[in-house]
Structure 1
Amino acid sequence: MTAATLITPGPDREHIVEGDNPLGLEGIEFIEYATAKPQALGQVLETMGFKPVARHRSREVLLYRQGGLNVIVNAHAKGSPLSDKPLISAVALRVRDAATAYRRALDRGAWGVPTHVEVMELNIPAIHGVGTSRIYFVDRHQQFSIYDVDFTPIPGVDPHPPATAGLHFFGIVQYIGNDRSEDWTEFYRELLGFQPLPPEQRFGILPKGRILRSPCPPASRFYIQLIEPEAGVLDVEDDEGLHRIGLGSADVLATVAELSRRGVEFVSSPSVQTSERGALSKTWLGSVSFEIVHDARG
């Protein structure tokens, strides 16, 4: 062994290698709607099988749940009037460490959202998403959750109602402006580690746009579908936003039958038909719809 060999530097023991899941994403914790008509939206959610299980301690906010699905209805105006049409205003992502995920996202170019935490409220870090939406990072989702601090259980209500036909989060559909697919693909890839699927890999009954796969473990993986305007439509970049929620089901037809018994109507047209691959609910309140997608994980 020569002296030169002795002094040759080895690998840096503290070198951080970027993995396939740089933020440690572990699925969706909740999806939030903002609306000036929370009761009307609540009725829609209950028709879909959700139950109101908790109220925020200091704000006009309700938590609806079924199985592992958490949906927050936020009617707390923050300086600007809320729309009568409910809008998906936030997505909370489960991560291993919220502070670390937030710092890394900022380092990669994300815009942080200033927080205004009231007494007895958690400080949940967030970055700006599409339009006026936010992306939250939550690391309290196992034995101890964010709802234990910020929410009060509704008396007499089962805090963990079962999911209708095994429904679970599958993904989110995002409407984007003309020729913006590459921009949004890079946004989700650079900040959160999403990867685009091959064009031939499709889900459900609306095979449009580009589908991005989250870097989560398979059991908690979800998808974002980016949809540009139809050809010939004027630029609608100002209307970019999160459009609807995709819910996974191991048996779409059985799920549709159960939801139909609850009063949910599904779209039936020459281009959209309920099948084993998926189904699309009719739109409530001018903006709320749900897509059921076949997913064996259910």
Structure 2
Amino acid sequence: MSTATQAPVLDREAIPEVANPLGLDGIEFIEYTTAKPQALGQVLEMMGFRPVARHRSREVMLYRQGGMNVIVNAHIPAMPDGAAPTDKPAIAAIALRVRDAAEAYHRALDRGAWAVPSRVEVMELNIPAIHGVGKSRIYFVDRYETFSIYDVDFVPIPTVEPRPPAVAGLHFFGVVQYIGNDRTEDWAEFYRELFGFTDLPDDQRFGILPKGRILRSPCPASSRFYLQLIEPEASVLDVEGDEALQRVGLGSPDVLASVAELSKRGVEFVESRGVHTEDRGALTRTWMGSVSFELVHNER
């Protein structure tokens, strides 16, 4: 009597993560907190942004140019720890466009992220968020096409163009993050594990300030952005307590043309032995003690 031969059971191979696990699709908005929203608004208007809407119940203004949204938050409390905004503006949050906000939020929590308790009021959306560097937040937004978060939370300013064109093709390029000593690998792993960022080779650099580690988002090319992690100089003492989102990078298909147009609007650029305007990039002066923008050559 013959016995049927049973095929060996093969160990199931681990299914690799997809290249873009959250369906990241770029930056939805950058949020500043400040006790001087009018002064910061003047800076943003020089940079080509226009106020297009006010929040329904809070002292919050939406500025826009092209596909970029910037929120100026003077509401008390504005930070997750209940702290009031100060005169010096701070980048308090970055909102990421994702395929499914709830799914992205729970995936991040499963991988060790810390949840930010929501403070939703009447007629407001509940936008999930996790803690980022320092006191900042990372929001997950999946309403950004035909119906957006601003349609619920904001009231348009009458007679204002709701989608003002971008100055000389400017668009979000990325954000610079200052970190503590020997913290580069910790933060790189944070962004790799939670969002699917990848490290760029050391010989692949952008702009005129090519320091630190650069991470590339897994977004499609049309919405891709970068994070630049910068540790303090070797001669500086430990600054872990000062870790923060430092400045916003703006991509430009023609940096010199963008600089010329912004200069007409009153924007001044840093010109020194180490930093100067060129076709690869430019750095604005610092306003209000903390606000500056870096222009980087980038075509979409």
Residue equivalent to 2:202: 199
Amino acid at match of 1:63: L
SS in 2 for 1:248: strand
Counterpart CA distance in 2 for 1:199 and 1:90 is 28
SS in 2 for 1:232: coil
Which of 91, 94, 109 is the equivalent residue of 1:91?
Answer: 94
Residue equivalent to 2:73: 74
1:80 deviation in Å? 2.4
Alignment of structure 1 residues 125-136 onto 2, 5 Å: 125-136=128-139
Counterpart CA distance in 1 for 2:53 and 2:138 is 22
Residue equivalent to 2:6: 4
Q: CA RMSD in A?
A: 1.5
Residue equivalent to 1:24: 23
SS in 1 for 2:26: strand
SS in 1 for 2:260: helix
SS in 2 for 1:282: coil
Alignment of structure 1 residues 113-262 onto 2, 5 Å: 113-262=116-265
1:18 deviation in Å? 1.3
Counterpart CA distance in 2 for 1:139 and 1:3 is 52
* Alpha-carbon spacing, 1:81–1:10, altered in 2? closer, same or farther (3 Å): closer
Runs (4+) off by over 3 Å? 7-12
Identity %: 75
Counterpart CA distance in 1 for 2:48 and 2:178 is 26
Deviations 1:133-169 (A, max 9, x none): 0000000000000000000000110000000001000
Deviations 1:88-143 (A, max 9, x none): 00000000100000010001110011101101100000000000000000000000
Residue equivalent to 2:112: 109
Deviations 1:39-92 (A, max 9, x none): 000000000000000000000000000000000000001142211000000000
Counterpart CA distance in 2 for 1:214 and 1:72 is 22
SS in 2 for 1:285: coil
Which stretches in structure 2 are left out of the alignment for 5+ residues?
Answer: none
Which stretches in structure 1 are left out of the alignment for 5+ residues?
Answer: none
1:21 deviation in Å? 1.0
Counterpart CA distance in 1 for 2:52 and 2:153 is 13
State the number of aligned residues.
293
Deviations 1:227-261 (A, max 9, x none): 11111110011010000000000000000000000
Counterpart CA distance in 1 for 2:5 and 2:221 is 49
Residue equivalent to 1:293: 296
Amino acid at match of 1:77: I
Relative to the length of structure 2, the TM-score reads 0.95
